[in-house]
Amino acid sequence: MYCQECHERPATLHFTKILNGKKMEFHICEHCAKEKGEFIPGSNTFSIHQLLSGLLHGDPYFSDNTSSEFIQPSLKCERCGMTYYQFAKVGRFGCSNCYDVFDPKLDPILKRVHGGNTRHAGKIPLRIGNHLQEKRRLETLKQEMQQYVMQEEFEKAAEIRDQIRNIEKRIQKGKGE
Amino acid sequence: MSLERFISEAICPWMKKEGPDSDIVLSSRIRLARNLKDYIFPTLASKNEAESVIQTIEKGIKDQTYSTIGNFELLYMDALKPNEKRVFVEKHLISPHLAEQSRYGAVLLNNDESVSIMINEEDHIRIQCLFPGFQLREALTLANGIDDWIEQRVDYAFDEHRGYLTSCPTNVGTGLRASVMMHLPALVLTKQMSRIIPAINQLGLVVRGIYGEGTEAQGNIFQISNQMTLGKSEEDIIEDLHSVVMQLIQQERVARKTLYDSLKVQLEDRIFRSYGVLANSRIISSKEAAKCLSDVRLGIDLGLIKGLSQSILNELMILTQPGFLQQYSGESLDPDERDIKRAALIRERLKLENNA
């Protein structure tokens, strides 16, 4: 059977679309499916998600035995019902709580996707993240202080130490109120 | 409807403005992915949950204006005809995913269509800002402002260590995708692009065709965007992309000059042949149209073709997509009919230009 779009190449994608109860059959080649940009399931959905799901399956838990779902029943998000097995299959989280539940397994995945990074270094939301911004500031100051100590520039290190104390005091005070 | 009016309604107002380096950079785009803390992500959400996500966001934003960008209009995907959705996708205002797969998907659009906020796409909220030319920093500033504005009204899913939590692990952290649409005909003609793409990939950036993942680079238009969203700040991500784009602009300019200096007649021949095809053909595929439009645009940029406006490439690349052609003719068209209609539309458009 030839592709119904180009009539040149053999049709390799066959599918049925049911839209508002109307049944439509399509037979097209992969080339046309991609090129025409028709929103055909399977034609351009070989995407990052599938690649990703491949990566997730690279988890030794899964490559060693296929019935891991039964061996590791504990990793299931109570809120949305997503299991780690499902997550590995679809490559998407079900809700924000999944991040907590699957946390022990996330680092290797995130490292692979984000060039070795596992921690956020960007924007912090203004309203809900106010205290986080102070915390982030403390972390960078502590790192700076360490550097100065290593370089034996103790005066500068002491200056930063005072800044750190001030922020810590402010946080303590905030908690006390 | 006259072609003139159709075009003026079809082309997003932001596209008509000229941006910096717009001889090479067609547009700059920033996308931020955000989710609401208390709701299951759209891919798993029930109809009720998806509906209440829209209501929550609508309640927060309704009747509010955000500084300079004007009012937002809320459009439900279910209320749009399939071809209308397709046209929105071709204008890059919504994603194919929102148009086809979302349940209770909606989009908030501002007046000049430079800002679109998709609701219930893969994530609850996707803020997108589009700027003409090379204006990544400006687009990020605007997107950040809108993000803060929304955050005052709804509770985001945010984690201290992982950042903004997204449905797909490839977006977690900043949730930021920055991309730049570039017209690089000289780098393609001088066969440098195949060497450049792998180099760009090594820097953690992705090169794609005009309609995103897996699409061919039609009309020598490439989309360059960041891959990583975690571990770097928004500003660093933008700066990395910015510097690569700057280098590409320079290399493209050098290649254009080399071509112009050493092969002017051949280049002119190619450009005017393409012009001839566009001005005279009766049947034209989208691929051929894209190729010819790219040549003609290069001719305009090099001053070889005079009296044609620069925006013709951006405009006709979008207007000759299937959705737009069907919208223009007011009926659905099969691929053969589209090729005929496309040729007619391009001829008419060029005539408009000559009369002006």
Encode pLDDT of A93-131 as tens digits.
Answer: 999 999 999 998 899 999 988 988 999 999 999 887 777
- Return residues 194-233 of B near A (CB < 8 Å): 204, 211, 213-216, 228-233
Q: What per-residue confidence (pLDDT) applies to A66? A: 46
Task: Determine the pLDDT at residue A12.
Answer: 77
Confidence of residue B172 (pLDDT cuts 50, 70, 90): very high
Task: Say how far residue B64 (Cα) sits from the centre of its chain.
Answer: 26
Greater confidence (B214 vs B101) lies with B101
Q: Are residues A31 and A71 in the same domain?
A: no
Q: What is the mean pLDDT of chain B?
A: 89
Note whether A26 and A52 are same-domain residues: no
Residue A34 lies inside a defined structural domain of this protein? yes
Give percent above pLDDT 70 in chain B. 93
**A164 and A145 both lie in a single domain:** yes
Same domain assignment for residues A79 and A105: yes
CA-based nearest residue to A106, from A55, A63, A67: A55
Q: Are residues A6 and A38 in the same domain?
A: yes
Residues A64 and A93 in one domain: yes
Residue A124 is assigned to a structural domain of this protein? no
Q: Which residue bears the tokens 């049944």?
A: A23
pLDDT of residue A40: 47
Looking at the fold, whether A108 and A57 belong to one and the same domain comes out as yes
Query: Which of B39, B46, B168 to mutate to test binding with chain A, by most A CBs within 10 Å of its CB?
Result: B168
Pairwise CB contact (< 8 Å): A120 & B160: yes
Instruction: Report the alpha-carbon distance of residue B206 to residue B129 in Å, rounded.
Output: 19
Residues A94 and A52 in one domain: yes
Spacing of C-alpha A171 from chain mean position: 31
Whether residues A109 and A57 fall in one domain: yes
Residue A157 lies in a domain: yes
Q: Of A113, A140, A161, which closes a domain?
A: A113
Counting other chains too, the contacts that B197-201 makes at CB distance below 8 Å and 24 or more residues apart are B200/B224, B200/B244
CA dihedral A49, A51, A56, A62 (to 10 degrees): 120
Domain annotation covers residue A122: no
Interface subset of A 72-111, CB within 8 angstroms of B:
79-82, 90-96, 99, 106, 109-110
- Domain count for chain A: 3
Q: Report yes or no on A71 lying in a domain.
A: yes
Q: Supply the pTM of this predicted model.
A: 0.78
Residues in A 151-170 with any Cβ partner in B closer than 8 A: none
C-alpha span between A38 and A159 (Å, rounded): 62
Structural domain including A2 reads 1-45
Please check whether residues A38 and A61 belong to one and the same domain: no
Residue A65's pLDDT band (cuts 50, 70, 90)? very low
For residues A21 and A54, state if they share a domain.
no
DSSP A11: P
Alpha helix stretches (DSSP H) within chain A: 30-36, 48-57, 60-64, 68-71, 84-90, 96-101, 103-113, 130-150, 154-176
Sign of CA dihedral A48, A53, A54, A58: positive
pLDDT band, residue B234 (cuts 50/70/90): very high
Q: Is residue A9 part of a domain?
A: yes
